[in-house]
Amino acid sequence: MRTVNTLIGQPMERTEDLRLLRGKGTFVGDIVREGMLHAVIVRSTVAHGHIRGIDAKAALALPGVHAVITAKDLGTPTPRVPLRLQPLPQLEPFHQPMLAHDKVRYVGEPIAVVIADSQAIAEDAHDLVNVEIEALPAITTKASADTAGALLFDENGSNTALTWVATRGDADKAFAGAAYTRKERFTIQRHAAMFMEPRGFVAEWDAPSSGNKAGKLTVWGAAKVAWTNRKILAKVMGLAESAVELFEVDVGGGFGSRGEFYPEDYLIPFAARHVGRPVRWQEDRREHMMTANHAREMECEVEIAASKDGRILGLRGHAWTNNGAYLRTNGSVGPRNIAQFMSGPYRIENIDLKTSMFVSNKTPCGTYRAPGRYEGDFVRERMIDLMAKDLKLDPVDVRRMNLVTDAEMPFPLASITPYDSATELDSGDNPALLERCLAEFGWAEKVKNQGKLIDGRYHGFAVACFIEGGAAGPSEEARMMLEPNGSVTVYMGSSAVGQGIETIMAQIAGDALELPFDRIRIQHGSTSDVAEGFGSFHSRSTVMGGNAILVAAEKFKDAIRAAGAKALGCAVGDARLDGETVRGPGGKSLALGELAKTPIEASGTFYNKKYTYSYGSACVHVAVDAGTGHVQVVDLVSIKDCGRMINPLTLKGQGIGSMVQGLGGAFLEEFVYDEQGQLLTGSFADYLLPSAGDFPKLNAIVIELKPSPTNPLGAKGAGEGEIVPIGGLLSNAVANALSSFGVEPMALPLSPPKVWAMIQKARA
């Protein structure tokens, strides 16, 4: 008897790695089209000012220059970058124009596009474009946004774009009756996603002809949300969606930033149509650091209420996020999440949290892995430890007491307005994971050294708990096609941004079709692959795309049985699938490849309105050098339940990568601006990234404990969880290590100079 596949749950190595490690990947730089020209973008060198003139005569006179495109070439009104998520009408005044036309609002804002025969000529011409800007006062901080008297958008009358409000229960009543309250102020620095290679596009315009009456626009370089970006691009260029095709290329990661719609997503296709030739644009690293979405910058005042025994009664406060010059694509997601998800996995019945988004003369912000949750967890986990110290309670016991239990699931979180949204934790046993994490870490023995000076360093230990939201809807599609050799190609609406979907989806499809892994080919990356796709964001690919495969597989098997029954001359009910063979009565059979002479395909769509929530706990051991402020991460263990695991190996890799990014944000990475809005850390000489030797002992454990009840796979989004608790976890550990000094970190990053300064201040 044939054994049914059990590919799901197997730790299989990524099939895409063989191609990439051999140098056979296809990146934007590998796309070459006949007659291709090159684009360089003229960007503002001033953070805030009125454009008084643009003189491109000298640039246009340079041999090899084909065009210098400015806002007047784009038409009136100048098209703007829309919001993809939470597209509230009150945010429309803050949308970014594709090219600045009257005012510039950050250093790096696009003003013109130079098109030339080569990159070198385009760069030379770039230097000849004379832009006259009358400078205005720069807004770089909340204080200057409130008091400087300068407005980024005069018609708005304020530099505050919107305030999110998250509520649950009656916070004021909870605080009025609480035995304990404490209010603190926290800040997190601005940092961002640093994928391996910068962004880029190649665009080609096939002009209308007798055989192509509408014209055809093809763009290489899409990622993350290709179908949404096609809708936006088609609309702003006045084309039907069917006249636009976007192709993914290989990318060295996305992390929430890559693949959103930027001005360049429009400017390069526009340039290709404008000059009638293919055009390539590829940013350099400094350009990427000035212009791709930043994230995280926040300051807040938060107050916690509790009983004397440590039961959390309420959480209230106000956060302010520096969103940069414009609200574009998904810029409001992080601020919203700070308010709605600050309660995390804890039973906090009374919540009143606000997040106000203000604009400034810095690069616009968007999402970065675990947007808002990283910030909110930093605040909440710090508050829990501070509360435990004040009440002279064990911080582990406080967490045990307040974690939402399995019996309380599903557990509603705070509701958010003005973009009304309610959600609930779908399933999970938070206390069980906390105990497992403590055991794996060896907490009971290690914590005996809390605050001790050993071998010249002060040792600290901390624990934190977290949740990770995933599976954003509304739907995802998969399409299956039988190939002549009997294999099956699965076309996906999910996008590849480094998370290994070619492997994971083949495991799901192989089990669903009961075919060997090597008989499945996953095809993604073109907006022609399926009728509609929603891409890869919010840890949604496995849940949404994987379940779409299950839906498509049932229809596909029905189609094969019907074709097999016809070929075998029997009733459909008498035809059965047996691996790569269709069998009928009397021993008759056909190989799948024999049926492929007539095309057989089927599509399936999975619809979902409910988020999934992975959850977990993390423990860390740090050693702090009080003389230098250096913090060594001695040991870091995280454990997470993601429902049903598809591939433990790739999932563990996601966890380790997520940890490292969190540690980079906690210790190293920071975009620093001066008072004039000039970016001072615009290269890797100044903006520090973690390297392989910085954090040698990391352990990301993933388990199956409570499958999600919201989808047939039982899977939960799980690409971001381990980054979520890192800021609060490390801050608590540093505070515990330096408890003899009375150091209490309230700001990130915990760089050596800042930790040293805290020690000196405490000593003074």
pLDDT for residue 743 is more than 70: yes
Instruction: Give phi and psi for 532, each to the nearest 5.
Output: -155, 135
Q: Which residues contact 62 (CB under 8 A, 6 or more apart)?
A: 116, 121, 124, 125, 128
Rounded-to-integer distance, Cα 328 and Cα 265, Å: 13
Give the model's confidence band at 148: pLDDT under 50 very low, under 70 low, under 90 confident, else very high. Answer: low
Quick one: tokens of 554? 């049932």
Q: How many residues does the chain have?
A: 764
- The three-state secondary structure class of 201 is strand
HSE-up (13 A, CA, CB side) for residue 650 = 24
CB 512 within 8 A of CB 550: yes
Contact assessment for residue 259 and residue 223, using Cβ atoms and an 8 Å cutoff: yes
Q: How far is CA 752 from CA 55, 122, 424, 673, 743, in A?
A: 47, 42, 39, 20, 14
A 10 A CB-CB count for 90 gives: 11
- CB-based contact 670:190 (threshold 8 Å): yes
> Contact 312/402 with Cβ under 8 angstroms?
yes
- The encoded tokens of residue 275 equal 């000059």
Report the percentage of the chain scoring pLDDT > 90: 95
Whole-number Å distance between alpha carbons of 540 and 466: 18
What secondary structure letter does DSSP report for 328?
A: -
The single-letter DSSP state of residue 90 is G
Quote the Cα angle for 540-491-195, to 5°.
50
Q: The domain 298-471+610-763: what is its CATH number?
A: 3.30.365.10
Higher pLDDT, 105 or 3: 105
> Taking the model in full, what pTM does it have?
0.96
User: How far apart, in whole angstroms, are the C-alpha atoms of residue 443 and residue 619?
Assistant: 8
Distance CA 753, CA 629 (A): 6
pLDDT tier at 210, thresholds 50, 70, 90? low
Given a contact cutoff of 8 angstroms between Cβ atoms, the answer to whether 268 and 39 are in contact is yes
Residue 227, CA atoms < 13 Å, CB-side half-sphere: 19
* Helix boundaries (H) for 285-372: 285-291, 333-340
What's the angle, vertex CA 144, arms to CA 142 and CA 150, rounded to 5? 125
* Cα gap 669→654, rounded to integer Å: 20
DSSP state of 508: H
| Confidence bin at 655 (pLDDT 50/70/90) | very high
**Delimiting residues of CATH 3.30.365.10 domain(s) in the chain:** 298-471+610-763, 473-518+528-606
Question: How many other CB atoms are there within 10 angstroms of residue 174's CB atom?
Answer: 22
| Separation between Cα atoms, residue 87 and residue 371, nearest integer Å | 17
Query: What's the maximum distance between 2 C-alpha atoms anywhere in the chain?
Result: 92
Architecture, CATH, for domain 473-518+528-606 = 2-Layer Sandwich (3.30)
Measured between alpha carbons, how far is 240 from 266 in angstroms, rounded to an integer? 15
Q: In the Cβ-directed half-sphere of 484, how many Cα atoms lie within 13 Å?
A: 1
Q: Give one DSSP letter per residue of 388-399, joined into a string.
A: HHHTT--HHHHH
Contact 587, 442 (CB under 8 A): no
Residue 644 tokens, joined: 């049903």
Secondary structure (H, E, C), 407-426: HHCCEECCEEECCCECCEEC
* Average of per-residue pLDDT across 39-48: 98
Query: What average pLDDT score do residues 305-321 get?
Result: 98
Mean pLDDT estimate for the chain:
96
Give the pLDDT score at 1: 34
- pLDDT at position 147 is 80
Residue 5: the pLDDT is 76
* Tokens at 20, concatenated: 């990439």
Residues of the chain with CATH 3.90.1170.50: 31-136+198-251+258-291
Q: 353 pLDDT band (50/70/90 cuts)?
A: very high
Element (H, E) at 217: strand 216-222
Pairing of the two strands 37-43 and 279-282: parallel
For the record, the structure tokens of 733 come out as 């550990």
Strand partners, 481: 489, 601
The mean-pLDDT minimum among 346-350, 417-421, 652-656, 727-731 falls in 417-421
Which string of b and e fits 480-493 if b means at least 16 CB within 10 Å? bbbeeebbbbbbbb
Residues 6+ apart with CB under 8 A from 408: 347
The tens digit of pLDDT for each residue in 398-410 reads 999 999 999 999 9
Residue 194, token pair as written in the block: 């640093």
Please indicate whether residue 638 or residue 586 has the higher confidence score (pLDDT). Answer: 638
Q: What is the structure's pLDDT at 182?
A: 98
Does residue 745 carry a pLDDT above 80? yes
The pLDDT, as a whole number, for residue 551 is 98
Residues 6+ apart with CB under 8 A from 184: 301, 302, 303, 382, 383, 386, 746
Report, as an integer, the average pLDDT of 440-461: 98
Separation of alpha carbons 272 and 268, rounded Å: 6
What is the pLDDT averaged over residues 382-392? 98
Closest C-alpha among 472, 533, 8, 36 to residue 248: 533
Q: Using alpha carbons, select from 510, 508, 516, 517 the residue that is nearest to residue 541.
A: 508
Answer whether CATH 3.90.1170.50 is correct for domain 31-136+198-251+258-291.
yes
pLDDT at 387 over 70: yes
* 239 confidence band (pLDDT: 50, 70, 90): very high
- Residue 746, pLDDT > 50, answer yes
For residue 329, list its beta bridge partners. 83
Q: Is the pLDDT of residue 149 over 90?
A: no
The two beta strands, 475-482 and 110-116, are: unpaired
Intra-chain end-to-end CA distance of the chain, in Å: 78
Residues 6+ positions from 443 with CB-CB distance below 8 Å: 396, 437, 461, 463, 619
- Residue 3 predicted with pLDDT over 60: no
The pLDDT of residue 4:
67
On whether the CB atoms of residues 223 and 248 are closer than 8 A, the answer is yes
Classified as helix, coil or strand, 435 is helix
The β-bridge relationship of strands 424-425 and 411-412 is antiparallel
